[in-house]
């Protein structure tokens, strides 16, 4: 956990160093209610062990540079501030080959809206704790953050999650405790499960062939929530999963370890 050592060292000097796609765990012993950085405000929640904790995402596309992280009182008054240095994560580009029918898929009615609504909800109870688990055992076929080209053309999007190799029908497991908020079959996302882990952390699992839970189910880390597949905009069976901190996709590799697959020839 080299980044953690770096982060702790940096905080000791009154500075935080983060990379694009990271989550800054904002911890404070004081009464601050929110943290703000570059116009984004996140809530700080009282923790059972004392103090407060909030998750400040550094979006994958945030320009590298120096930013101010402020702690705010409940009336919005700035209590303290420190410097955050955002480093370039050097995400690569990756071409994805899609058949014409797949490339032309349109979202199901309400697909984007229900996903956005799920991602916008921040709930009070913290269910998650570290370390998170891996949803499947397979190696990583595509990391978070790569700039995506579809059939050689830039899409303007980056990969908002992590892909793992998984044949159709492998059990997919919750990465942490939480409440299942989304169990839907969508045109683009395919078979989708979304879990709210509480206090701003959420996970999504896409392209599933089958579901093992219903919306509203309380799950624990490692519980089977569905089965891998290749539904939606997918060119081969795999599991795409993503982590969100206060609605922003963040790099799962800051939270879990997974081996990259050996390059195919």
Least distance in angstroms from the C-beta of 120 to Zn ion: 21
Phi, psi of 192 (to 5 degrees): -125, 135
Q: Which of residues 57-96 bind Zn ion (CB under 5 A)?
A: none
Residue 198 or 226 having the CB closest to Zn ion: 226
Residue 178 or 252 having the CB closest to Zn ion: 252
Residue 99 or 216 having the CB closest to Zn ion: 99
Least distance in angstroms from the C-beta of 65 to Zn ion: 28
Least distance in angstroms from the C-beta of 159 to Zn ion: 6
Residue 184 or 240 having the CB closest to Zn ion: 240
Nearby residues of 165 by Cβ (< 8 Å), 6 or more positions away: 138, 139, 140, 141, 238, 261
Least distance in angstroms from the C-beta of 235 to Zn ion: 10
x/- string (CB under 5 A) for Zn ion, residues 20-49? ------------------------------
x/- string (CB under 5 A) for Zn ion, residues 199-238? ----------------------------------------
Residue 87 or 148 having the CB closest to Zn ion: 148
Number of residues that bind Zn ion (CB under 5 A): 2
C-alpha angle with apex 57: 52 to 58, nearest 5 degrees?
A: 135
251-264 b/e with 16+ CB inside 10 Å = b?
bbbbbbebeeeeee
Q: Which residue is nearest to Zn ion (CB)?
A: 240
Distance between CA 170 and CA 135 in Å, rounded?
A: 10
| 246 prior amide bond cis, ω within 30 | no
Residue 142 or 199 having the CB closest to Zn ion: 142
Least distance in angstroms from the C-beta of 168 to Zn ion: 16
Cβ(106)–Cβ(113) under 8 Å?
Answer: no
Distance between CA 131 and CA 1 in Å, rounded?
A: 12
Least distance in angstroms from the C-beta of 163 to Zn ion: 4
Residue 16 or 142 having the CB closest to Zn ion: 142
Residue 52 or 240 having the CB closest to Zn ion: 240
Q: Which of residues 233-262 bind Zn ion (CB under 5 A)?
A: 240
Q: Which of residues 124-163 bind Zn ion (CB under 5 A)?
A: 163
Least distance in angstroms from the C-beta of 92 to Zn ion: 14
Least distance in angstroms from the C-beta of 240 to Zn ion: 3
Cβ(24)–Cβ(16) under 8 Å?
Answer: yes
Report the half-sphere exposure of 165 (CA within 13 A, side-chain side).
11
Residues within the interface to Zn ion (CB under 5 A): 163, 240
């Amino acid at each position: 956990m080299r980044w953690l050592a770096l982060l702790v060292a940096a905080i000791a000097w009154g500075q935080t160093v983060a990379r694009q796609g990271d989550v800054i765990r904002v911890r404070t012993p004081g009464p601050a209610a929110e943290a703000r950085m570059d116009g984004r405000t996140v809530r700080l929640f009282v923790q059972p062990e004392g103090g407060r904790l909030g998750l400040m995402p550094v979006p994958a596309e945030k320009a590298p540079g120096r930013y101010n992280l402020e702690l705010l009182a409940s009336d919005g008054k700035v209590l303290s501030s420190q410097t955050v240095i955002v480093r370039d994560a050097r995400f690569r580009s990756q071409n994805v080959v899609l058949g014409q029918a797949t490339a032309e898929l349109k979202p199901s009615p309400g697909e984007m809206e229900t996903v956005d609504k799920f991602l916008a909800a921040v709930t009070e109870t913290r269910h998650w704790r570290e370390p998170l688990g891996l949803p499947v055992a397979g190696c990583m076929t595509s990391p978070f953050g790569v700039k995506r080209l579809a059939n050689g053309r830039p899409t303007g999007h980056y990969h908002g999650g992590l892909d793992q190799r998984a044949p159709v029908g492998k059990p997919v497991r919750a990465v942490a405790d939480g409440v299942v908020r989304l169990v839907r079959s969508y045109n683009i996302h395919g078979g989708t499960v979304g879990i709210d882990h509480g206090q701003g952390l959420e996970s999504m699992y896409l392209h599933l062939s089958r579901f093992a839970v219903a919306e509203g189910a309380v799950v624990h880390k490692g519980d089977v929530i569905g089965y891998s597949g290749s539904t939606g905009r997918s060119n081969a069976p795999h599991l795409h999963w993503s982590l969100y901190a206060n609605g922003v996709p963040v790099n799962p590799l800051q939270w879990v370890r997974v081996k990259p697959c050996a390059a195919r020839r």
